[in-house]
Amino acid sequence: MPRLLTRYLAGELLKTILLTPLVLVAVIAFGPAIKPLSRNLLGGGDIFKYVFFAAVPMLEYALPFAAGFGATLVMHRLATDNEILAMGASGLSPSRIFRPVFVLAAVLLLVMLALVEFLVPMFWSRMESLLAHDVTRLLASAVERGEAFSMGDTRIYADDVLVQEAPEDSTADTRLVLVGVAALQLDPSRRPETEFTADYATMDLYRLEGRSVLKLVLGDATLFRAGDSTLVRLPTAEPRAIDLGRGFRLGVKMLTLPELYEVRAEPDRFPGLAGGVARLRDLLLRDATHRFVAETLGRGDPIELSDVTRDAVWRLASYEDATFADGFFRIGSPVVETTFADGRTKRVRGATLRLEESWRDGEVVFDAELLEPVAVGGPPEERTDALRFRNLGIRSERLGADEEASPVEIVARARGVDVASIESPALRSEFESRLADHARAVQSLRWDIDGRLQQRLAQAFMGPLLLVLGSVLAVRMRTSPPLTVYVLAFIPAILDIVLISGGEQALRRGPDPWGYLLIWSGNLILGGICLVAWFRLRRN
């Protein structure tokens, strides 16, 4: 008989508890889809996928309240029908009567742990990926709204857009033809670096192994580079390709439990810190370039640079002395030799050469100014005040740069640089600033992970506590309406969610003991109310 009653009670609880979250989730899962629908980011078939993906994260909050509500209804009905009284009169103790409730609470705890630690992060990732995977729709939607479309460090504006699937003259998956285009590239400090304007442009989208790569080609374009105030008109212009990765920004909430511990152990690999790692890589390249030039000049060896602007090779053939001060290399009595693509060579001698390092379009370049130039072995120069050479670059292989270095290796190299030995005050200051910024970002990421771990654990325990509280209060207050009983359990549960959220925010700012107390205080309140109601139920 006790086993029969246990199966009967467990069956009634399960039917109601399973039915209640289905109803709740079916209603509230449409809420997250309202914003992307209003922005035209979801197609007809994607709406149902998005709602399905949103249903699982909604269970994190719906399941505890549904369990408490279902347990309240079932136990209150059993109590008002005197079935609980009959069980007690037949010799069953309160612990034996409530055994199915406690077993279901334990099962619910395991379900909640699996939900918050594995399923919810996976489905958050699916939701974001569904919104971001179709870049063509995102761009078309932005153009229709008259807004800029952001891709990495590039901002694109257009008056109109035409989408072509699988263009015949290209291996791209999708081609977008843009009309009235303006593209803006930002430097690592998020300031405008290069601006393109064009009457039309084509944007080809390539999808490779789940990643999206965009290639933009502008026709009849005007280019303005802020670094050297250059304004150029080109028949075609090709900004650097943009690797969008998986198409969305991976957040801590999208990481499962094993992934959280992996990221905490090696935070430099986290995609959210990729921007800081890229800036450190750029600084390493700048430092290597500066040291290469300084060491070469110190030995008195010639320096060979690529003149990209004129498709030529620029060579500092000879000089008397070289110093670095005020952000410039000052070279005395230089002889500059320029070899063009057609084989022509021009040599010029000057009184002084000023060599300034700059960062443009993701590369280290030099601007040179030769004072009092005099042609060697040819007709005299037309201008006698100065000659200027722009965008002179050094090949990366001569600098020993490792293009395949992992984020961990890049950060380790940056930390191993003797910052005090950097001659350029500006570069030294930026190096120190970027290293400090990265250290703060790593610390913030680890605090964020710690807060998320505690939040998930506390959220998982709230479900079983609310289930037990609703069951005990329903029997204890059998003369009251069931909704009144549920409200009494509902209020501390809402307080628990608020406290969990507040504690998580506190822990994200640092390992504060008050943060741990705050995040668990809601569960302590629920547990305390459960104990008080249970002991009063046993006594009566």
How does pLDDT run across 83-101, given as a tens digit for each residue?
Answer: 888 888 888 888 989 999 9
- CA–CA separation, 316 and 292 (whole Å): 14
Q: Is pLDDT above 70 for 357?
A: yes
List phi, psi (to 5°) of 46: -70, -20
Q: Which residue shows structure tokens 């980011």?
A: 41
Q: Is pLDDT above 70 for 428?
A: yes
What DSSP character marks residue 381?
P
Q: Which range (78-87, 128-137, 206-215, 420-429) has the least confidence?
A: 128-137
Q: Identify the pLDDT of residue 310.
A: 72
- CA–CA separation, 120 and 114 (whole Å): 9
pLDDT exceeding 90 applies to what percent of the chain? 33
- Within 340-424, where are the H helices? 396-399, 407-416
Q: Identify the pLDDT of residue 45.
A: 61
314, 336 contact by CB (below 8 A)? yes
Q: Which range (144-153, 220-229, 238-247, 423-432) has the least confidence?
A: 238-247
What DSSP character marks residue 421?
G
Average pLDDT on 275-304 reads 88
Closest CA to 12 of 95, 91, 84: 84
- For 300, left (φ over 0), alpha (ψ -120 to 50), or beta? left
Residue by residue, DSSP assigns 122-181 as HHHHHHHHHHHS-HHHHHHHHHHHT--EEETTEEEE-SEEEEEES-TTSS-SEEEEEEEE
What DSSP character marks residue 19?
H
pLDDT-based confidence at residue 44 (cuts at 50, 70, 90): low
- CA–CA separation, 323 and 47 (whole Å): 65
- CA–CA separation, 215 and 368 (whole Å): 32
pLDDT-based confidence at residue 35 (cuts at 50, 70, 90): low
Cα-based angle 460, 462, 464 (whole degrees, multiple of 5): 90
Higher-confidence residue: 115 or 243?
Answer: 115
pLDDT-based confidence at residue 5 (cuts at 50, 70, 90): confident
Q: Which two tokens stand for residue 306?
A: 């690529």
CB atoms within 10 A of CB 371: 14
Highest mean pLDDT among 386-390, 402-406, 484-488: 484-488
Q: Which range (392-396, 426-430, 469-473, 527-531) has the least confidence?
A: 392-396
Q: Identify the pLDDT of residue 37.
A: 62
Higher-confidence residue: 413 or 36?
Answer: 413
Q: Identify the pLDDT of residue 41.
A: 58
Q: Which two tokens stand for residue 429?
A: 């200051």
349, 330 contact by CB (below 8 A)? no
- CA–CA separation, 57 and 534 (whole Å): 32
- CA–CA separation, 13 and 472 (whole Å): 13
How does 465-499 read in b/e, with b if 16+ C-beta sit within 10 Å? bbbbbbbbbbbbbbeeebeebbebbbebbeebbeb
Average pLDDT on 388-417 reads 82
pLDDT-based confidence at residue 467 (cuts at 50, 70, 90): very high
What DSSP character marks residue 395?
-
Residue by residue, DSSP assigns 481-512 as -HHHHHHHHHHHHHHHHHHHHHHHHHHHT---
Closest CA to 137 of 32, 46, 54: 46
Q: Is pLDDT above 70 for 383?
A: no
Higher-confidence residue: 307 or 128?
Answer: 307
Higher-confidence residue: 213 or 370?
Answer: 370
- CA–CA separation, 257 and 114 (whole Å): 10
Average pLDDT on 262-291 reads 89
Average pLDDT on 309-317 reads 84
Three-class secondary structure of residue 201 per DSSP:
strand
CB atoms within 10 A of CB 189: 9
Closest CA to 307 of 335, 336, 350, 338: 338
What DSSP character marks residue 112?
H
Exposed (0-12), middle (13-18) or buried (19+): which is 78, by Cβ within 10 Å? Answer: buried
First to last CA, the chain: 24
Three-class secondary structure of residue 405 per DSSP:
coil
Q: Identify the pLDDT of residue 25.
A: 76
Q: Identify the pLDDT of residue 282.
A: 87
461, 109 contact by CB (below 8 A)? yes
Q: Which range (145-149, 196-200, 451-455) has the least confidence?
A: 145-149
Residue by residue, DSSP assigns 424-476 as -HHHHHHHHHHHHHHHHHHHHHHHHHHHHHHHHHHHHHHHHHHHHHHHHHHHH
Q: Identify the pLDDT of residue 258.
A: 94
Average pLDDT on 135-157 reads 73
Residue by residue, DSSP assigns 251-267 as -GGG--HHHHHHHHH-G
Q: Identify the pLDDT of residue 118.
A: 95
Q: Identify the pLDDT of residue 257.
A: 95
pLDDT-based confidence at residue 116 (cuts at 50, 70, 90): very high
List phi, psi (to 5°) of 197: -130, 145
pLDDT-based confidence at residue 227 (cuts at 50, 70, 90): low
Q: Identify the pLDDT of residue 344.
A: 86
Q: Is pLDDT above 60 for 133?
A: no
Q: Which two tokens stand for residue 470?
A: 């609703």
Closest CA to 14 of 93, 114, 78, 107: 107
On average, the pLDDT of the chain sits at 84
196, 223 contact by CB (below 8 A)? yes
Q: Identify the pLDDT of residue 242.
A: 66
Q: How far is CA 168 from the centre of its chain?
A: 35
Q: Is pLDDT above 70 for 338?
A: yes
Three-class secondary structure of residue 410 per DSSP:
helix
Q: Is pLDDT above 90 for 525?
A: yes
How does pLDDT run across 468-515, given as a tens digit for each residue?
Answer: 999 999 999 999 998 899 999 899 999 999 999 999 999 999 998 999
285, 295 contact by CB (below 8 A)? no
